[in-house]
Amino acid sequence: MADELAREVMEYDVVIVGAGPAGLAAAIRLKQRNPEVSVAVLEKGSEVGAHILSGAVIDPSGLTALFPDWKAKGAPLETPASRDRFLMLGEQGAFDISWLPMPGYMKNHGCYVASLGNLCRWLAGEAEALGVEVYPGMAASELAFAEDGAVKGVVAGVFGIARDGSHKPDYQPGVELHARYTFLAEGARGSLAKVAQARFGLCDKAEPQKYGIGLKELWQVPAEKFQPGLVQHTFGWPLDDKTGGGSFLYHFGDRYVAVGFVVHLNYKNPFLSPYDEFQRFKHHPAIRAHLEGGRRVSYGARAISEGGWQSVPKLAFPGGALIGDDAGFLNVPRIKGSHNAIRSGVLAADAALAAIAEDRRGDELSAYQSAYEASDIARELRAVRNVKPLWSRFGTVLGVLLSGIDMWSTRLFGGFSPFGTLSHGMTDAAATGLAKDYQPIAYPKPDGVLSFDKLSSVFISNTNHDEDQPCHLKLKDPSIPIAVNLPRYGEPARLYCPAGVYEVVTDQAGAEPRFVINFQNCVHCKTCDIKDPSQNIVWTTPEGGGGPNYPNM
């Protein structure tokens, strides 16, 4: 209690948690429309962009809504997408399916290959120039509630708590940032959004949110291999037909190749390791041809929200709103969410501006909900609503074929689908199968040229956390990993975590195994919070500034 009394309170009209495209777009729109409105943006990364991990092929429609003159202003979208290629991979060969007719929105003509992190760095500069207060290194760790139960802001910037909970000499109790409206723009599986969703029942009428884990490396390749603007996607190997996912490979900028692999987190085999699937995937002849002779520059991972239209929660709650991927606005077949994140920030900002003009505070921005329902975001997500359920039900080959038919149907018949609206069914955690029904997978050893072990990968993500702080990966029941998850599922955290945070260690022969959490390696992907089959791991914010420091990701 003494801590809370000591907290300084800062007052704003709007406080935004997360300096991704959604949060920064909302901040910019607020200030563009009304320079008198006070706006703060909090970012847990050491700088804006440090925690942003994306592909990215960027559809500029969102940015254009914000800055029609973004080109003249120097937004870092320099490489136009020049060529689309789709491949179905077998173990050695590749079948080019680029000729298959796709609805126009699946083509990348008019899009740009870029680093979303760098776009966010640029947006933050524009926001600051308009008078937005941007605070990097400030993790928003709690929601603050008013007496009537509405959200009145957040607690941020708590520093200097030791691992054992005691206060270190540099202890700071943090600040309470109060606002008329608080926007949660934390990206996929936001930790504060989870609290708001539970408290206000925001997901009660929605399907469970679905996720994928996206792993990405940035390579710099020799000039003769560089094909600026090439956008390549694959399905198939190394995943089997029942395990959803695929890859992306984009050429852009200064001889960069962004290569990434997505595994849908409803996979069943608890022995599957998305990290190792990604590493072996790079050895495929159709992939290694792009990377050989190049140098790996960076590595990272991040969850992607994949539930789409059926899973969008109620967006507004008393005193705030969910925007961007905190609300799940990513379009799965396009693997694009940044344009919708920006669009949603604009819609929420407009609703807040109207409310502020009427001197309201702390109520529900129902105008944002209605604006979303009539928006391009909703239209776009509705048109592809069955793609993910079709993949999940029918596997990759048949699922891709049926989803193609479905997308053409919604395109040609005003949103009509012969499948109606399919349900996602269970959560990704509940989809995990039992260890007794599967065989462990023997992954090839990394060769240190194209493939690498987890620790050397985490090293180049520049991840860092002060080790003398409480572990931010909380176990609701510390006995579950060894007593339940190990016998039932082989403790899949060892394998799904892309940073080697979780280990099951046996100190000596015959000793009881221990569950070890190397939290300092965490790259903030949120996969454990999503996939733990016992839903026992809760991702919370560590001290601000900790986590990865991604360059150009």
Ligand X SMILES: Cc1cc2nc3c(=O)[nH]c(=O)nc-3n(C[C@H](O)[C@H](O)[C@H](O)COP(=O)(O)OP(=O)(O)OC[C@H]3O[C@@H](n4cnc5c(N)ncnc54)[C@H](O)[C@@H]3O)c2cc1C
Footprint of ligand SF4 (CB under 6 A):
473, 497-499, 501, 522-528, 539
Assess contact for 220 and 104: CB atoms under 8 A.
no
Tell which positions 192-221 bind ligand X, by CB under 6 A.
Answer: 192, 214, 216
Q: Which is nearer to ligand X, 27 or 53 (CB)?
A: 53
Q: Which is nearer to ligand X, 284 or 339 (CB)?
A: 339
Nearest approach in angstroms of CB 42 to ligand X is 5
Q: Which is nearer to ligand X, 365 or 435 (CB)?
A: 365
428 makes contact, choosing from ligand X, ligand SF4, none, with CB < 5 to 8 Å by partner type, with none
Judged by CB under 6 A, which of 12, 18, 75, 119 binds ligand X? 18
Structure tokens at 213: 């884990």
Three-state SS letters, 243-300? CCEEEEEEEECCCEEEEEEEEECCCCCCCCCHHHHHHHHCCCHHHHHHHCCCEEEEEE
Cα–chain center distance at 371: 24
Give the range of 122-130, 271-279, 320-328, 393-401 binding ligand X by CB under 6 A. 320-328
Q: Does 541 bind ligand X (CB under 6 A)?
A: yes
DSSP state of 490: -
53 makes contact, choosing from ligand SF4, ligand X, none, with CB < 5 to 8 Å by partner type, with ligand X
325 makes contact, choosing from ligand X, ligand SF4, none, with CB < 5 to 8 Å by partner type, with ligand X
Q: Does 123 bind ligand X (CB under 6 A)?
A: no
DSSP 360-384: --SS--HHHHHHHHTSHHHHHHHHT
54 makes contact, choosing from ligand SF4, ligand X, none, with CB < 5 to 8 Å by partner type, with ligand X
Structure tokens at 501: 């945070």
Q: How many other C-beta atoms lie within 10 A of the C-beta of residue 200? A: 20
Task: Please give the backbone phi and psi of residue 538, each rounded to the nearest 5 degrees, phi first.
Answer: -115, 120
Q: Which is nearer to ligand SF4, 31 or 51 (CB)?
A: 51
Cβ neighbors of 412 (< 8 A, separation 6 or more) are: none
- Give the closest residue to 524 by CA, choosing from 191, 244, 265: 191
At which residue do the structure tokens 């126009």 appear?
104
Q: Which is nearer to ligand SF4, 53 or 81 (CB)?
A: 53
266 makes contact, choosing from ligand X, ligand SF4, none, with CB < 5 to 8 Å by partner type, with none
Q: Does 392 bind ligand X (CB under 6 A)?
A: no
DSSP state of 238: T
228 makes contact, choosing from ligand SF4, ligand X, none, with CB < 5 to 8 Å by partner type, with none
Task: Please give the backbone phi and psi of residue 321, each rounded to the nearest 5 degrees, phi first.
Answer: -155, 155
140 makes contact, choosing from ligand X, ligand SF4, none, with CB < 5 to 8 Å by partner type, with ligand X
At which residue do the structure tokens 């080959």 appear?
397
Nearest approach in angstroms of CB 180 to ligand X is 19
Q: How many other C-beta atoms lie within 10 A of the C-beta of residue 345? A: 31
Give the range of 323-331, 386-394, 464-472, 503-511 binding ligand X by CB under 6 A. 323-331
191 makes contact, choosing from ligand X, ligand SF4, none, with CB < 5 to 8 Å by partner type, with ligand X
Give the range of 43-51, 75-83, 373-381, 515-523 binding ligand X by CB under 6 A. 43-51
Q: How far apart are CA 372 and CA 364, in angstroms?
A: 14
Tell which positions 223-262 bind ligand X, by CB under 6 A.
Answer: 260
Q: Does 51 bind ligand X (CB under 6 A)?
A: yes
Q: Where would I find the beta strands (DSSP E) of 121-174?
A: 133-136, 140-145, 151-156, 159-161, 167-172
Q: How far apart are CA 92 and CA 460, in angstroms?
A: 29
Q: How far apart are CA 57 and CA 134, in angstroms?
A: 26
Q: How many residues bind ligand X (CB under 6 A)?
A: 44
- Give the closest residue to 215 by CA, choosing from 336, 329, 53: 53
Nearest approach in angstroms of CB 471 to ligand SF4 is 10
Rule CB under 6 A: which residues touch ligand X? Answer: 17-23, 42-45, 51-58, 116, 139-140, 185-187, 190-192, 214, 216, 260, 302, 304, 324-326, 330, 335-339, 341, 541
